[in-house]
Amino acid sequence: QVQVVESGGGSVQAGGSLRLSCAASGYTSSNKMGWFRQAPGKQREGVAGIYFGTGTTYYVDSVKGRFTISQDNAKNTMYLQMNSLKPEDTAMYYCAADGPFRGAFDIFDPSRYNYWGRGTQVTVSS
């Protein structure tokens, strides 16, 4: 049974940092992983992702230069380092794994992932 588990959320002040972790288990390998977030009353938004075939990382414009994806293959874990956090980053953050990949649009489209975690809350106060 595939499991995707996020951790590392919390409450910080604007300008602070958090590192989210996403641990996946129950399958041999995944071709991609992504981070999404959803604020109350808003649609789920793709934030960042990685395609393991080339190691290419992708970021939505609003987080470029502030968020960084990294991975630990030995632990089958992906990380999202979030720096210079802003109040508008406040949301539930979800990790997703595996699915079709033909380009960047398959990183940011939530319908293109097979497995999801339950989320971890990030709250940034001003």
- pLDDT-derived band at 26 (thresholds 50, 70, 90) equals confident
pLDDT for 30 beyond 90: no
Report the DSSP pairing between strands 120-125 and 10-13.
parallel
Per-residue pLDDT tens digits for 46-62: 999 999 889 999 999 99
Contact 126, 14 (CB under 8 A): yes
For residue 57, the model assigns a pLDDT of 96
Per-residue pLDDT tens digits for 67-117: 999 988 777 889 999 999 999 999 999 999 999 999 999 999 999 999 999
The edge-to-edge listing of strands for the beta sheet with 67-72 is 3-7, 18-25, 77-82, 67-72
